[in-house]
Structure 1
Amino acid sequence: MLRTTGRSLNTRLILGFLLVAIPAVAVVGAISFYALRDLTSANQGLQEISRSLEAVRALEGGVGRALMPVGEFVAYGASGQERLFEARIGEIESRLQGCGNTACHGVSAQPREMAQGLVPYFRTIRDRAASVFREDTGSADRIRLFREITGQGREVSRQLEHMSSALLARVESLQEKTQQVYQRAWNLILGATALVGGFAVLMAYLMSRKLARPIRELVSGTRHVMRGDLNHRVTVSERGEIGELMGSFNAMAQEIDEHRGRLERLVQARTAELEQAHESLMRSEKLASIGVLASGVAHELNNPLTSILMNINLLMEEVEDRPDLHRELKRVGDDALRCQRIINDLRDFSHRRELEIGPCDLNAVVSDALGLISRQLRLQKIALTRNLPDRMPCVLCDPDRIRQVLMNVFVNAIQAMPEGGTLSVGTAFQEGRAAITVTDSGPGIPSDIRSRIFDPFFTTKAEGTGLGLSIVYGIMEEHGGRVEIDSAAAAGTAVRLLLPTQEGYE
């Protein structure tokens, strides 16, 4: 089977899929990476804001709690309030110091700056509170200082509210950014999907065209073959399975064409054999019918003709002294003898006596028959060429009847060369049969009468009976053989007698 090199159909489909899948995965991966990066950044910002808001709420509560001991001391002069204030204000300063570093606010600069801006306020509150708690400070001064402290506390609360507002504004900004990230990612995914889809459609179209073209050519080639055009071939323009399929189609068409040629030749040969068998059957039936008629005619004419010949001979003896009458009687006697020969031919034609079959040396039979015509060949200046191989298979036949066949064929050949010529006689082993070939250098048999040469009583000779070749045909048929004649105008005639060998009879 024809093999082609190149990428297989399966490989092409995989490559086509990869050409679509890899860009799609790359685009979706890139979009996902950038979206995840932005979302991670937004999430980190939200975590920072969450910590900042917790710190701000803690500071708001701590400021009020830190000022309560000062108020208690101013109002009631309660002891121990200074230590409580110091503890609470120290806690606030510690928390404020923590809110000023990245542990609380991450990388955001604004919360740190706002936290550092509160330090002076708490320093002022601490200083004013220290003055309040001194023993030499009067009541009026303590009240004034407490008012200043509460004013500073309100300012701190206002700053903390401002910080909360800034943090909430940042939350809204991050939410908007997150929404934008989602929207941008969605738009990019839709765009990438459309782009990859268009690319996939384009690749599918190109691949379908590339695959459909050779398939259409194969379909066209199949239709040509169906219409009987077995010489049609497709052009192998592809590799892989498609190319192999196209090559296999061409090989199949060629094999079908060769098989059809062999089948046609076989049909022609069988048809010729059937025609020959039919012709042989028709000729046999015709010969049988004519043989019955000839047998009756010969029987009815032979007795009176014998009487006529006897009386003519008696009359010729009585009129020997009258030459003119004797000459006429002799002419009548010769005609009667000719009629007797015709009757004898009719008897030979009609009487199919039983063959005396036995092993026979075919070359010896041919040599005997040639010996009988050797004198006539010399008289008519006909050269004889023999080709009798030493090793010939044994033939089972009736030698007398085969000799009769040969004599009829030899006589026809000699009569075809009245001015001399060449007679060639040979034996051979052909197609499992023994063959005797007799060839003359005469004018040949005209094509318009070749189909009639075996018909009884058909002759082109003035004195012929037309039974010679009919007798030849009948005897050869009785032996299970056949007669073949090959003749061409001005090229002579070759008569081939085919007889079964001893193995053929067995």
Structure 2
Amino acid sequence: QRISAWQDFARRLAHEIKNPLTPIQLAAQELDETYDGENEAYRKKLEHARAIIEEEVATLRRLVGEFSSFAKLPRADLSPSDLCDLAHGIQDAVPAILEDVGRGTPAPVEVRVTCATEPIRVRMDPMMLKRGVDNLLRNAIQSVYEAHPSGGGEVLVRAYRTEASGFIEVRDNGPGISRENWDRVFDPYYTTKTEGTGLGLAIVKKVVLEHGGQVRLDRAPEGGARFSIELPLMDSP
């Protein structure tokens, strides 16, 4: 119920922010394009102001996109699946994620994806759960880039099972997360980053709850953060 309330808030916030963005951008463009004076210094100020406005409008549009994405999270369409198939899909996506997250950062990051040899049968929505794991992976890569700017960053995505549960965990050798923040990181809009909305981990939690599972945070053996998603195994046939 609490997450549903946050989703409703995100929906209304996205609507209120989105509406004035286009008029603001158009007004800035019109001011710049209709000035026909000969004051070159003033023209440069107009161009500079327009560039700033357009950049900030683009930032707000990205934020609106994140708010809308959180607000529109669908109900999970669960079906029998193998967590190892999900892990293999994550493996295929790693190069694109590294290129996206590490844009402008030459330091290499090693991302390993492993899975148990036996099937890990759970009921899941593959696309929805992949989105949640993708968020965790992106966060981990960002963390190790910051902690190891010259290289040496490592991220492990591991799928495994116990007698009653299937797990997929994402852990890294980044700076980790302070213990006092462990209970808050999944709250919508809570973030310790200078940029971002604090919705990434809230989306992960919502996705996992839709699967009847749990997500936990603790310290990884490598010293960074470890996020573990636990899902109930399907009954054996």
Query: Structure 2-normalised TM-score?
Result: 0.79
- Relative to 1, partners in 2 of residues 1:395 and 1:324: Cα closer, same or farther, differing over 3 Å? farther
The residue matched to 1:411 in structure 2 has which SS?
A: helix
Output the CA distance in 2 between the equivalents of 1:434 and 1:313: 54
Offset at 1:488? 6.6
**Where does structure 2 lack aligned partners over 5 or more consecutive residues?**
100-105
Alignment of 1:218-367 (within 5 A): 285-309=1-25, 325-367=46-88
Q: Deviations over 1:1-57 (max 9, x none)?
A: xxxxxxxxxxxxxxxxxxxxxxxxxxxxxxxxxxxxxxxxxxxxxxxxxxxxxxxxx
User: Relative contact order: is structure 1 or structure 2 higher (C-alpha 8 Å, sep ≥ 6)?
Assistant: 2
Output the CA distance in 1 between the equivalents of 2:166 and 2:34: 56
User: Are the equivalent residues in 1 in contact too, given 2:212–2:232 (CA < 8 A)?
Assistant: yes
Paired AA for residue 80 in structure 2: P
Corresponding residue for residue 409 of structure 1: 136
Output the CA distance in 2 between the equivalents of 1:367 and 1:412: 19
Offset at 1:422? 0.4
Moved segments of 4+, more than 6 Å: 313-319
The residue matched to 1:391 in structure 2 has which SS?
A: coil
Structure label with greater radius of gyration: 1
Query: Structure 1-normalised TM-score?
Result: 0.39
Output the CA distance in 1 between the equivalents of 2:221 and 2:50: 42
The residue matched to 2:217 in structure 1 has which SS?
A: strand
Output the CA distance in 2 between the equivalents of 1:332 and 1:448: 38
Task: Give aligned pairs, total.
Answer: 220
**Which of the two has greater strand per residue?**
2
Output the CA distance in 1 between the equivalents of 2:76 and 2:156: 28
Alignment of 1:49-448 (within 5 A): 285-309=1-25, 325-377=46-98, 379-418=106-145, 419=149, 420=151, 421-448=153-180
**Where does structure 1 lack aligned partners over 5 or more consecutive residues?**
1-284
Q: Deviations over 1:259-304 (max 9, x none)?
A: xxxxxxxxxxxxxxxxxxxxxxxxxx43232222222121222222
- Relative to 1, partners in 2 of residues 1:501 and 1:464: Cα closer, same or farther, differing over 3 Å? same
C-alpha RMSD of the superposition = 2.9
Paired AA for residue 496 in structure 1: S
Q: Deviations over 1:442-464 (max 9, x none)?
A: 11111122221111111111112
The residue matched to 2:182 in structure 1 has which SS?
A: helix
The residue matched to 2:167 in structure 1 has which SS?
A: strand
**Which of the two has greater helix per residue?**
1
Offset at 1:481? 0.8
- Relative to 1, partners in 2 of residues 1:403 and 1:318: Cα closer, same or farther, differing over 3 Å? farther
The residue matched to 2:207 in structure 1 has which SS?
A: helix
User: Are the equivalent residues in 2 in contact too, given 1:444–1:490 (CA < 8 A)?
Assistant: no
Offset at 1:327? 4.0
Output the CA distance in 2 between the equivalents of 1:428 and 1:318: 63
Give identity over the alignment, percent.
Answer: 29
- Relative to 1, partners in 2 of residues 1:480 and 1:334: Cα closer, same or farther, differing over 3 Å? same
